Amino acid sequence: MKIGIIGAMDEEVELIKGKLEKREDTAIAGCEFHQGTINGTDIILLKSGIGKVNAAIGTTLLIQLFQPDHIINTGSAGGFNESLKVGDIVISTEVRYNDVDATVFGYEFGQVPQMPAYYEPNAELMEVAKKAAEKVGIHAVTGLILSGDSFMSDHSRVEELKTRFNNPYCAEMEAGAIAQVCHQFDIPFVIIRSLSDIAGSDAKVSYDQFLETASVNSAKQVLLMIEALSA
């Protein structure tokens, strides 16, 4: 088995990178790939860079060059649901874009023309993710993750998206692109995001303060997922 793991920033990949044995590092088109093993399982860790285009480039290269059996996206996000707090985990039940509008042609808001309205993760990977969160002792929920090239610091924008989508749990900037590429290549995936902030007016202050905590929480869960998938 070979597992691909994607994070956008150093903070989101450092913990996992430090666990890789026999590590080999490669840089391609601004993407950093780290090959190695964890618990005897082949791992390809990608630091993609921030945003949908970087994520799409990195995910495509990861699939084409390294042929992973599964892809796990780890990282931070801004929370939308009032029941959640910084450090909580959201495991995707579906991923939708929050910055795509082709509704004039009859598509749903967030739907790229000629593509699905949303992207569903692999059910088995979802279950493994839920069990890993329980084992790590972090509060985790499953739900809708929104994705777009904007940091959610505008309260009015957050409220608008809450009316456009049914109970979104968080928003971030890479998952939609990763999910779409996995859909195109028929690669099982799951998105795991730990909340670094609650989207809105104070989001930047919280993000700056809690990014590392959120990234570590998400990475700890991924390491337990690797352990479970390796068994």
Report the alpha-carbon distance of residue 80 to residue 195 in Å, rounded: 10
Q: What is the dihedral of CA 18, 64, 32, 96, to 10 degrees?
A: -90
Task: Examine the residue annotation and report whether 42 is marked as an active-site residue of this protein.
Answer: no
Catalytic residue among 10, 11, 12, 69: 12
CA–CA separation, 88 and 83 (whole Å) = 10
Q: Tell me, rounded to whole angstroms, the distance of Cα 209 from its chain centroid.
A: 20
160 is catalytic: no
| CB-CB contact of 138 with 217 (8 Å) | yes
Q: List 79's β-bridge partners, or say none.
A: 170, 198
- Residues annotated within the binding site for substrate are 78, 152, 173-174
Among residues 101, 186, 197, 208, the one annotated as catalytic is 197
Non-local CB neighbours of 160 within 8 Å, separated by 6+ positions: none
Q: Tell me the angle at which helices 203-230 and 123-136 cross, rounded to the nearest 10 degrees.
A: 110
222 Cβ contact list (under 8 Å, min separation 6):
5, 16, 72, 74, 132, 192
- Report the binding-site residues: 78, 152, 173-174
Question: Please, are residues 149 and 52 in contact by the beta-carbon 8 Å criterion?
Answer: yes
Closest CA to 79 of 175, 138, 158, 179: 158
Residues belonging to the active site: 12, 197
